[in-house]
Amino acid sequence: MRIRKPGLLTTVQDLGRPGYQQYGIVVGGALDSFAARAVNLCVGNDDNAALLEIAQIGPDLTFEQDTLIAWGGADFDARVGGQPLPRDRAVRVAAGEVVSFGLARGGLRAWLAIAGGIDVPLVMGSRTTYRRAGIGGHEGRPLVAGDALKLFEPTPWAKQILAALTSGQKRAVTWTVRPETMGKPARPGVVRALRGPECDWFAKEAQRAFFAAEWTATKEADRMGVRLSGPELPLLKPQEMISSSVNSGVVQVPPSGQPIVLLPSRQSVGGYPRLAAVVSADLGRFTQMRPGDTVRFEETTLASAHDIFLARERDLARVRMGLARLAG
């Protein structure tokens, strides 16, 4: 795969680098891990295969051989050979054809999986780009024009799908894998969240306000987190937290009183009170928010958060079994 134009921030990601937080090393990985797993599934890859994460302005790229790809996430003006590039499904791209992602028309980030997965070295068990440390991914950095990335051999399943598309002179398969429909999706504009360990540190009105108010995403947003603006969230009394672990989805509140929702490239520990934690299934929402977008938090219990988590996994497992039967 060759990068003709890099886009704004195109990086190699997998499901992250767990196991190293004790050393202060961030987990990172595709910001919406479920979206990444869905596109990997479409091209017969393992969940953890390395793929591209694309942000806001997408890359232009070509392949040396006929290839099976799949993309999903934000609404990009993605094209192949000038024609719209179908999303959420396996698509055939011929050698030399230009795949271009253009601009995100809605949302911010998308994920592009290529059959076989991207062949970059494992660093601490992961292929995720760890930009701040300059390691992982492709040379530890976002992609630039001219980069050439090797790919692993596609699975026999992917080869069969590609062969079938080629012989039928078809661009894409007819089935789709749409992660946003799986499990028990939240209502539009709402994310579900659990109370965090320091929820009780906040004034009762602040706790109520957090779960009642409409929150607006600010410009302060990156792979580490999204800062929201809304009502102030004062503590009951001034209290310093002893630094402890954080997690993706944790809503921490610095002294400014404006919450930050942490995303996978967060640090391993934090020193701000943890008011709430967004459920895994709804975290992807924050990877797509643009400044000015709004969201409400709906309180849920751990039992129902697990119910939501398991429902989505069950649906993905079902799709995996269904797709496996397509070839063979």
Partner 1 sequence: MQITPLGDNALVLEVGTVIDESTHRRVQAAWRALAAAPLPAVSELVPAYTTVTLFYDPWAAVQAGAPAQGIADWLGAQVRERLKNPPKMEKTKPRVVEIPVCYGGAFGPDLARVAAQAKLSPEEVIKRHAKADYLVYLIGFAPGFPYLGGLPKELHTPRHAKPRMTVPPGSVGIGGEQTGIYPLATPGGWNLIGRTPLRIFRPEQTPPVLLAAGDHVKFKSITATEFAELQATQ
- Interacting residues toward partner 1 by CB under 8 A: 18-25, 123-124, 132-133, 135, 194, 196-197, 242-250, 267-269, 274, 277-280, 302-303, 305-310, 313
Least Å from the CB of residue 121 to partner 1: 10
Residue with tokens 């091209």: 43
Nearer to partner 1 (CB atom), residue 166 or residue 245? 245
Least Å from the CB of residue 185 to partner 1: 15
Least Å from the CB of residue 144 to partner 1: 21
Nearer to partner 1 (CB atom), residue 67 or residue 207? 207
Residue 174's SS3 state is: coil
Residue 50's SS3 state is: coil
Per-residue b or e along 65-86, where b marks 16 or more CB atoms closer than 10 Å to that residue's CB: eebbbbbbbbebebbbeeeebb
Nearer to partner 1 (CB atom), residue 54 or residue 246? 246
Q: Which residues contact 267 (CB under 8 A, 6 or more apart)?
A: 24, 26, 224, 246
Q: Which residues contact 19 (CB under 8 A, 6 or more apart)?
A: 124, 125
- Between CA 55 and CA 310, with CA 297 as vertex, the angle to 5 degrees is 75
Cα 123 to Cα 86: distance, rounded to the nearest angstrom:
33
Residue 124: count of CB within 10 angstroms of its CB: 15
Nearer to partner 1 (CB atom), residue 37 or residue 109? 37
Q: Which of 184, 12, 171, 7 is nearest to 102 (CA)?
A: 7
Helix, strand, coil percentages in the chain from 3-state DSSP, rounded to 5? 25, 30, 45
Nearer to partner 1 (CB atom), residue 22 or residue 174? 22
Least Å from the CB of residue 244 to partner 1: 4
- Between CA 142 and CA 149, with CA 147 as vertex, the angle to 5 degrees is 95
Nearer to partner 1 (CB atom), residue 123 or residue 213? 123
Least Å from the CB of residue 167 to partner 1: 37
Nearer to partner 1 (CB atom), residue 148 or residue 303? 303
Nearer to partner 1 (CB atom), residue 16 or residue 58? 16
Least Å from the CB of residue 34 to partner 1: 12
Query: Environment class of residue 46 by beta-carbon count within 10 Å: exposed (0-12), middle (13-18) or buried (19+)?
Result: middle
Least Å from the CB of residue 2 to partner 1: 27
Least Å from the CB of residue 318 to partner 1: 13
